[in-house]
Amino acid sequence: MDKPDYILQMKEIRKTFGPLVANDNISLNIERGTVHAIVGENGAGKSTLMNILTDIYKADSGDIILNGKKVVFKNSLDAARHGIGMIYQEFMLYPELSVYDNLILGFEEKKLGVFIDKKACKKKIEQICRDYSFDLPMKTLVKDLPVAILQQVEIVKALYRGADIIIMDEPTSVLTPQGIQGLFRAMRNLVSSGKTIIFISHKLKEVFEIADRITVMKDGKISGEVLPGEVTENQLASMMVGRDVILQANKVEVDFGEPVLSVKNLQVKDKDGVLRVKGVDLDVRRGEIVGLAGVAGSGQQQLVEALFGLRAPETGSAVYFEDTDITRATPRQRRCMGIGYVPQDRLGAGANGQSSIWETAIMGYHVAHGFKSRFLLNFRQIEEFTGRIVDNFAVKCQKTSDKIRSLSGGNIQKVVVGREFLQDNKLLIIEDPTRGIDVGAIEFIWKKIIDLAAGGVSVLLISHELNEVMQLADTIKVVYEGQLYDGGAHGELTEEEIGLIMMGGKSDEK
């Protein structure tokens, strides 16, 4: 057999963030003209590895060998010049500019070193579009185009910049099934004309469909490298998620009361008008923890936003809280009724990064509970409530007037979680409560959630960590493509079984 033609080799890449080892001596060989898939859970280290490749991060140690030569990039631009193009989940496009302007921005062909040579640019783009059969509306503004087209714009942009290796980070998460087929066609075209694609995904079906070779990452290491024909979906799923349980939440058996939250035929569109939640029915009973597992982007975000009044559901949807119709209630009304919410985006929605600790700590509390005076802030009460959070949740801070940004991620999360947990709420909607925090804080917050439920509070837990849902939830539901599937009661199904439902593997048992 011939020696394989590797376009890119990464050798012994190691990267740590504080105590976290994000990439633990990873070696990866990518063959020219193939689609190489990298699969793994959130936090497995895929993104870090790619960010090292594109020089967003510097590796602690290890080499990158491109076309057989060792390279050290000066910066991300330098990486792009070496032919490495990255297409992010969030498109890097200027909405107010036309497709054409977006394509050439920063990489204009120049006349006399100053003027943009529009003709040359256009010729180059047309050549690319012809070679790889793309058809883009050059003059349309980017904001007027659907996401599937935007993705093509990103691909053409990468090609225009001379990319030989195109990294696609979860490219299908924003696409419809038709859009995905279109993308795959484009990928095949690219590969057949000699480009190389690194495809990052955790949707196994897609990986099986498009990839020539699959590398599985887990906990910062490579846990296997396979060919799609060699393994079954099941085996791959277990390579991805199968691991020892690090944390064990001790659950007590409880009897649940009547439903507190009752959702009937909930339908929600996202901001682009795409239906993302497609008729969800859900009950959360008193004292019950219902866990929603699912791959990111399956409609959880829109579901939660609708449940907390941040996004209006479609007509025909109904949400009841203790027999009151709250389908159209505002977040303020919901808070006054006793519904709490821990948002996923800690510094985006959970806390105000520019504010002090107490300012973040009383948000929502000041609405639902108020102060003695309707107009003035009562600093004694503020100090008392903030102090209660700090004490009960062991927040490490010096004084409550410090900036919230000066705390660590775990401590900020404790403030946010504490704020919602200590308000005597009847229902808590909790989204990814332990994202990006250290193991100690995770254990702590888990325990608090279980205590809360034992005290009769209903909890709807939405998490992208399957393990978290499995550990905490009394009843597990799986979100896939905007619909809910049964994930059994606590401990009924194995991690692999649920993982398969998450990826649409066994979607028949609704």
The values of phi and psi at residue 222, to 5°, are -90, 120
User: Minimal distance in Å, beta carbon 471 to another protein?
Assistant: 11
Strand 20-31 with 318-321, pairing: unpaired
To another protein, the closest distance from the beta carbon of 245 in angstroms equals 10
Q: Does 354 bind another protein (CB under 8 A)?
A: yes
- Burial string for 108-132 (b: 16+ CB within 10 Å, else e) reads eeeeeeeeeeeeebeebbeebbeeb
Judged by CB under 8 A, which of 351, 415, 452, 460 binds another protein?
351
Q: Give me the DSSP letters along 177-232.
A: HHHHHHHHHHHHHHHHTT-EEEEEE--HHHHHHH-SEEEEEETTEEEEEE-TTTS-
What is the DSSP secondary-structure string of 100-136? HHHHHTTS--EETTTEE-HHHHHHHHHHHHHHTT---
Residue from 46, 195, 285, 464 that binds another protein (CB under 8 A)?
Answer: 464
Residue 272 is a binding residue for another protein (CB under 8 A): no
- The side-by-side arrangement of strands in the sheet containing 61-66 is 20-31, 6-17, 61-66, 69-71
Q: Which of residues 279-318 bind another protein (CB under 8 A)?
A: 308, 310
3-state secondary structure of 340: strand
What residues does 26 pair with on adjacent strands?
13
Among 291, 294, 364, 482, binds another protein (CB under 8 A): 364
Looking at 21, 145, 148, 175, which residue binds another protein (CB under 8 A)?
21
With CA atoms as reference, report the closest residue to 429 among 328, 290, 293, 298: 290
Q: Which range in 39-47, 88-96, 123-131, 169-177 contacts another protein by CB under 8 A?
A: 39-47
Closest by CA to 342, choosing from 402, 431, 268, is: 431
Site for another protein in 179-198 (CB under 8 A): none
- 276 touches another protein by CB under 8 A: no
Q: How far is the CB of 364 from another protein (least distance, A)?
A: 4
Pick 350 or 488: Cβ nearer another protein: 350
Does 434 bind another protein (CB under 8 A)? Our answer is yes
401 touches another protein by CB under 8 A: no
Distance CA 333, CA 319 (A): 14
| Per-residue DSSP letter, 39 | E
| Least distance to another protein, CB of residue 42, Å | 5
Out of 1, 3, 19, 133, the residue judged to bind another protein by CB under 8 A: 19
Hey, is 158 helix, strand or coil?
Answer: helix
Say whether residue 366 binds another protein (CB under 8 A). yes
- Does 367 participate in binding another protein (rule CB under 8 A)? yes
Residues 6+ apart with CB under 8 A from 173: 89, 203, 295, 296, 297
Of 68, 194, 348, 491, the residue at the interface with another protein (CB under 8 A) is: 348
Q: Which stretch binds another protein (CB under 8 A): 159-167, 373-381, 470-478, 495-503?
A: 373-381
Shortest distance in whole angstroms from residue 175 CB to another protein: 24
- Looking at this protein, which amino acid is placed at residue 253? E
Decide if residue 338 touches another protein (CB under 8 A). no
Q: Do 501 and 229 touch, CB atoms closer than 8 A?
A: no
Residues 377-396 as x/- pattern, contact with another protein by CB under 8 A: x-------------------
Q: How far is the CB of 296 from another protein (least distance, A)?
A: 11
Q: What is the DSSP letter of 350?
A: I
E strand or H helix that includes residue 80: helix 76-81
Cβ proximity to another protein: between 308 and 485 the closer is 308
- Shortest spacing between CB 353 and another protein, in angstroms: 7
What lies within 8 Å, CB to CB, of 187 at 6+ separation is: 35, 168, 197, 199, 210
Q: Binding another protein by CB under 8 A: which of 359, 386, 458, 502?
A: 359
- In whole angstroms, give the CA distance from residue 477 to residue 485: 6
CB 386 within 8 A of CB 475: no
Judged by CB under 8 A, the residue of 105, 116, 227, 246 near another protein is: 246
Please, what is the minimum distance in Å from the beta carbon of residue 339 to another protein?
10
Cβ nearer to another protein, comparing 387 with 409 = 409
Q: Judged by CB under 8 A, does residue 71 bind another protein?
A: no
Long-range contacts of 381-386 (CB under 8 A, 24+ apart): 382/358, 383/358, 385/361, 385/422, 386/357, 386/358, 386/361, 386/362
Residue 291 or 343: which CB sits closer to another protein? Answer: 343
Q: Is 274 in the site for another protein (CB under 8 A)?
A: no
- Binding region for another protein (CB under 8 A): 17, 19-22, 24, 41-43, 48, 57-58, 219-220, 243, 246, 308, 310, 330-332, 334-336, 341, 343, 345, 348-355, 359-360, 362-364, 366-368, 371, 374-377, 405-406, 409, 434-436, 439, 442, 464-465, 467
